[in-house]
Amino acid sequence: MTKQIKTDICVIGAGSGGLTVAAAAAAFGENVILLEKGKMGGDCLNYGCVPSKAMIAAGKQAHAMRKANLFGISSVEPNVDYSAVHDHIHAVIGAIAPNDSVERFESLGVKVIQQAGQFKDAKTVVTANGKTEITARRFVIATGSSAAKLPIKGLDDVDYLTNETVFSLTERPQKLVIIGGGPIGMELAQAQRRLGADVTVLEAFGVLSKDDPEMSAVVIDQVRRDGVDIREGVRIARVERPHNRVEHPHGAKIILSTLSADGEETGGEEEIEATHLLVAAGRSPNVEGLGLENAQIKYDRRGIKVKSNLKTSNSRVYAIGDVTGGLQFTHVAGYHAGLVIRSMLFRMNAKEDRSIIPWVTYTDPEMSHVGLNEEQAREKHKGVSILRWPYGENDRAQAERKTEGLIKIIIDKKGVVLGASVVGANAGEIINMWSLIVSQKMNVKAIAGYISPYPTFSEIGRRAAISYYGDLPKKPMIRRVISFFKLFG
């Protein structure tokens, strides 16, 4: 017999957003059921943010050993034990996993059902095994996204890697080809290269093209200096099985042609052999199998359609995080969760504001951004000014030999900060303060007036803000005022 359960809130998906909703709702005394068909913690913990940053950290350590001579210490070529790197990555996952475990959430009062959920109708979800039907006052869909399937001839005939499998490797890839030059592709390309792999990145358009070109150019230059072969403007005609499939089960022969600036083929084909092929070109929302049509929930290939308050076309159902097709970051899912909690429990009119959402690309140097970029600001505002300050003029950067990069601040004609971008060491940490500044619509005068401890990387932001007043000493009126005050002694 099918078990019937009535509850206040049913959350589908135990990734970052779903876990946040479930924990918060339970803390306020709501009856919560959480459905998860895979691993608790979702993509971020198991296949995304956590393992990738652990791998990047290993790559940085190897790179530091090669560059030790900059500090008067003998440089050495590190002996990378790739199996031990694998163990390090999974030890990090294991250390965090208890925070997201079934046991912890049940201790918080959440009923966890380790099954997929599918809508039977507008107010009922049934588990995949058919044993449980859940009727809830509110539903939250937080099923995330997966690596996009690319329409490349022959790709399905090879055992390529994605973010869900690449961190399971226990042997270093000899020749790694990555399809996709976005943040994920570039982060993993640099990390794998620093761990000793021969790496090629294939990108149909421009690498890191969604970021400010001035900032991304700094990252691209460093990744190339690390030895990654980056090829932009290429079309992959087809993929074939490798000659030695037993020795290289994740390998492939990639046949590509070069494209012109307008997307036309320039003629000729080139073959690239890979011992390992990694597909990192975009993400697709996890909507399949949810029975969204049964619940009258509108969606398309980009994700579930939501209003600014994250409600779907079914007013009793919310959708948050990657499955909505917006900015695909873990912290966005957490932000969405907070908005939904305010809406569901307190009936507040909480709406998403994408203009205050920051993001970071965890290459070395890091690249971060919040708010409007220069092009967007000039389209929306008149009298926009750009303030810059280079890492090379920062004393801490000089001491640590990390002088590549800059901060770029966009302000309107009244001095209100519209956006900020940072490329350089600790850019992901530096952007935190600027996220607060943009979200609160603060004026650059406030930043120029605060005291920054010395020496810190964050000081570059204050120096950029002070440059707003750089022309004051040259103004005749200011000089006349100073001369006037001299008359009084």
Length of the chain: 489
Q: For residue 172, give the H/E element and its range.
A: none
Hey, what are 360's tokens? 């970071």
| Residue 180 annotated as part of some ligand binding site | yes
Cα distances from 16 to residues 166, 350, 398, in angstroms, run 21, 19, 38
Whether residue 379 contacts residue 442, with contact meaning beta carbons closer than 8 Å, is answered with no
C-alpha torsion sign, points 318, 322, 324, 327: positive
Hey, what are 62's tokens? 């190897």
| Residue 100 annotated as part of some ligand binding site | no
| Residue 145 annotated as part of some ligand binding site | yes
Residue 263, CA atoms < 13 Å, CB-side half-sphere? 1
Q: For residue 207, give the H/E element and its range.
A: none
Q: For residue 115, give the H/E element and its range.
A: none
Q: What are the two backbone dihedrals, phi and then psi, of residue 354, each rounded to the nearest 5 degrees?
A: -70, -15
| Residue 130 annotated as part of some ligand binding site | no
| Residue 203 annotated as part of some ligand binding site | yes
| Residue 206 annotated as part of some ligand binding site | no
| Residue 258 annotated as part of some ligand binding site | no
| Residue 117 annotated as part of some ligand binding site | yes
Give 6-72 as a DSSP string. EEEEEEE--SHHHHHHHHHHHHTT--EEEE-SS-TTHHHHHTSHHHHHHHHHHHHHHHHHHTGGGGT
| Residue 182 annotated as part of some ligand binding site | yes
Nearest to 306 by CA among 330, 291, 285, 289: 285
What whole-number distance in Å separates Cα of residue 14 and Cα of residue 337? 12
| Residue 282 annotated as part of some ligand binding site | yes
Whether residue 152 contacts residue 160, with contact meaning beta carbons closer than 8 Å, is answered with no
Whether residue 262 contacts residue 275, with contact meaning beta carbons closer than 8 Å, is answered with no
| Residue 414 annotated as part of some ligand binding site | no
| Residue 407 annotated as part of some ligand binding site | no
Hey, what are 286's tokens? 């996890």
| Residue 322 annotated as part of some ligand binding site | yes
| Residue 185 annotated as part of some ligand binding site | yes
C-alpha torsion sign, points 393, 398, 403, 409: negative
Type of residue found at 324: T
Binding site for NAD(+), by residue number, is 180-187, 203, 282
Binding site for FAD, by residue number, is 53, 117, 143-145, 322
Binding site, by residue number, is 53, 117, 143-145, 180-187, 203, 282, 322
